[in-house]
Structure 1
Amino acid sequence: MISKLRAGFGRLFRPVAQFLLDHGISPDAVTIVGALGAVVAALWLYPTGHLVAAGIVIGILTLSDALDGTMARLANRVGPWGAFLDSTLDRVVDGAIFLGMTVWFVRHADPSVAMWGTVAALACLAIGGVVPYARAKAESLGYDANVGIAERGERLVVSLTAAGLVGLGLPQVVLVVVLYLLAAASAVTVVQRMAAVRRQTRAEAATAEVAGPAASAEPDEGA
């Protein structure tokens, strides 16, 4: 769902992307500035208790994913380096967000939820890092693992929105519950991607077994 919205944002940002390109700004520069801005916001605004501001700033900056992609397509610069840079910095931003939330729980949350919230945020940080790794590793081996109920876009929207609503006055336990559910959904996504690759490897092995006897049954042309 989020990926479809990103495509829509890409079309919306086309004039902005062309303007930046016309003024000598590269897609890589937009990627780096957006990621660094999101990291600074996450590690500053969350620890200082500005949950709403953090969600707004990070949400706006993460839209640079759509902007830099549009710029790369317009400039005909789509390639492996841009994909690698974007994916790597996404992991850095994700880590900063959940680390910032962890510090918020330690510094600002009520004692009754601080420990549970800290564990939930760290679980999202740890398991959330495995989700993209599973897909990247599968693709490096020639398999498709683009499945799952909790991709990056969904994880960001849910976590930023829940934190922002707590900042607006909802009970802090809401964020704790949401983060635990998010960690569970991330774990399910990892399992789904493992299962997808397992099915593909089994199908590959079955095809090889069928092809093996068939090949051995062919007559020897030299006989």
Structure 2
Amino acid sequence: MLNLFARGHVNRLTDPVGRRLVDHGVSPDVVTVLGTVGAVASSVVLLPAGWLVLGAVLTTLFVLTDLIDGAMARARGYGTPFGAVLDSTCDRMVDGALFGALTWWALTLGDEPVAAAAALVCLVGGQIVSYVKARAESVGLTAEGGLVERAERLILGLLGAFLAGLDVPYAVTVALVLLAVGTVVTLGQRILAVRRSAREVQRGR
């Protein structure tokens, strides 16, 4: 949902950075991989150990590189099929690492079983939401939009961890429960979107 409102503003900030990196011969794929490694490491090392504030901040900074590689592709004037697959694959890895780490923390140091269950719903549901879109596009259908897309998943998950690190009571539980509900709703929206798209294709034949 945030993509609809924030994309233009974000692009104005990231495009100059992308142009600068391209001018210096940096590959978007390298930025994608480095950002993914940093985000995964920050999540799985810091969050389960209870370093929630530092883990949330560092993971957020590395996640933002996902905006930079897109800006670099625009600055270069083209993207590549390999780059698109790499980017999507790395996105799934970061999502899995973040919500897996939050599940681990909630079951151990956090002692918040409701948050752990919600984090698992977010982990699995988020992967399925992304898969529905990719699978639909592979057969010529569309499944755009939804209440909670990747940006919202990352923001709520990282914000909950950050606030919990500041000792805000039940911050992770509230954030993840809201996110889990939103993820289930989004999955339903994506399925309905695919159904509508399929009907439109059938009518056009």
TM-score, with normalisation over the residues of structure 2?
Answer: 0.92
Say what the alpha-carbon RMSD is for the aligned residues: 1.6
- Cα deviation, 1:34-78, whole Å, max 9, x if unaligned, reads 011000000011011111112211111111111111111112231
Contact kept in structure 1, 2:17 and 2:71, CA below 8 Å: no
Q: 1:19 to 1:206 in 2, by over 3 A?
A: closer
1:203 matched residue in structure 2 = 200
The letter for the 1-side match of 2:127 is G
CA distance in 1, matches of 2:117, 2:20: 44
Check if 1:39 corresponds to 2:40: yes
Shift of 1:183: 1.2
Shift of 1:140: 0.9
1:187 matched residue in structure 2 = 184
Q: Which has the larger radius of gyration?
A: 1
Contact kept in structure 2, 1:38 and 1:57, CA below 8 Å: yes
**Structure 2: runs of 5 or more not aligned:** none
CA distance in 1, matches of 2:184, 2:34: 30
CA distance in 2, matches of 1:78, 1:23: 18
1:108 match: secondary structure: coil
Percent identity over paired residues: 43
Counterpart pick for 1:127 among 125, 128, 131:
125
2:14 matched residue in structure 1 = 13
Contact kept in structure 2, 1:6 and 1:66, CA below 8 Å: no
- Cα deviation, 1:128-180, whole Å, max 9, x if unaligned, reads 11011111111111111112100000111111111111111111x23113212
Contact kept in structure 2, 1:10 and 1:69, CA below 8 Å: no
Contact kept in structure 1, 2:160 and 2:175, CA below 8 Å: yes
CA distance in 2, matches of 1:43, 1:14: 30
1:159 matched residue in structure 2 = 157
1:52 match: secondary structure: helix
